[in-house]
Structure 1
């Protein structure tokens, strides 16, 4: 029974594979009815439309929740080689699989100016999640901010976050 079911499932999957890239035609017949068919319309039909359907392709390894959170609440990490606090901050974001923009305040005068304008000082690490800013690293506060923004609590297996680092400008 199980073998028969598996064989039937394989046959259906194989037979339906061409449908993933199927052509669909749409036109109105002489009575004004809308017709949809996988066969081309008669030659007498005017204004026929041909639709192409391609397979569903997800081009990013990023989950829907992560993408939505990133669009609504982008993350910027201001850091430098400051030791444990900056290392732990980056590790937390990486382990959660959070995409973030990283600005090195030691390597970039532009990043220094942004941080000074944002906080009034040059102390790192600082994270900005959407419009929320947290000075210094405290994992509980950072996790709470990421949770409020809708970021997943952990990275999907085998994924790496898309972190971008600002090129130094002096």
Structure 2
């Protein structure tokens, strides 16, 4: 399996890298976010659009309980998830960047074909690294761009992780399906059922109780 590891500098428009993240309140009161400044001159906000935590972030809840209050609340509202693979240098750079900045994050590993398919459905492509901050997608790694979104979400610029903090272990994106072994006896009601024995066939000419001489007709 070949996974593409792409740099964000080539994946994002220059305007996204150069500008900030803006909070826009519409006439109906609904809030949206954009990389372009609003026409009414609304000021830049440090908030990003919130999203529901995915199943991978659920496993990091115990780890996040160790965090300082403000950092814990930010991680709860805008959880960070990194999608990475082995032998992917940009993935290693992205992981190291999050760790060095003190970002609590969950990691999902892309190892199998089913993982790749799930990643395509989630991100629209199979390039790595890929990350989410809330429901904001970060495709490819660029330190400046990632810092921009992390800061907009409210994550501190300097590490605040406690010394005893232990990051959750990476988990595969999909659950492997275990195929049953061929020839294994089936079980029913806790008892092993064996295949029925084939009926015995007496070769022609064999003496039997009804035909002691084994005569053939």
Number of aligned residues = 111
Trace 1:1-170 onto structure 2 (pairs within 5 A). 60-107=65-112, 109=114, 111-156=115-160, 158=163, 160=165, 162-167=167-172, 169-170=175-176
The answer for unaligned runs of 5 or more in structure 1 is: 1-58
**Using the alignment, how far apart are the partners of 1:150 and 1:104 within structure 2?**
26
**Using the alignment, how far apart are the partners of 1:132 and 1:125 within structure 2?**
14
Q: What are the superposed Cα offsets for residues 26-64 of structure 1, whole Å, 9 maximum, x if unpaired?
A: xxxxxxxxxxxxxxxxxxxxxxxxxxxxxxxxx954112
Q: Is the 8 A contact 1:76 1:103 kept in 2?
A: yes
Quick one: structure 1 residues 122 and 147, their matched pair in 2 at CA, closer, same or farther if it must change by over 3 Å? same
**Using the alignment, how far apart are the partners of 2:124 and 2:146 within structure 1?**
20
The answer for unaligned runs of 5 or more in structure 2 is: 1-63, 177-217
Q: Is the 8 A contact 2:85 2:111 kept in 1?
A: yes
Question: Following superposition, which runs of at least 4 residues in structure 1 exceed 4 angstroms of deviation?
Answer: none
Q: Give the stretch that moved more between structures: 139-148 or 60-69.
A: 60-69
TM-score by length of 2: 0.46
**Using the alignment, how far apart are the partners of 1:83 and 1:144 within structure 2?**
23
When Rg is computed on C-alpha atoms for both structures, the one with the higher figure is 2
TM-score by length of 1: 0.57
Q: Is the 8 A contact 1:80 1:106 kept in 2?
A: yes
Q: What are the superposed Cα offsets for residues 97-154 of structure 1, whole Å, 9 maximum, x if unpaired?
A: 2111111112573x42331112222110011000110100000111111111111222
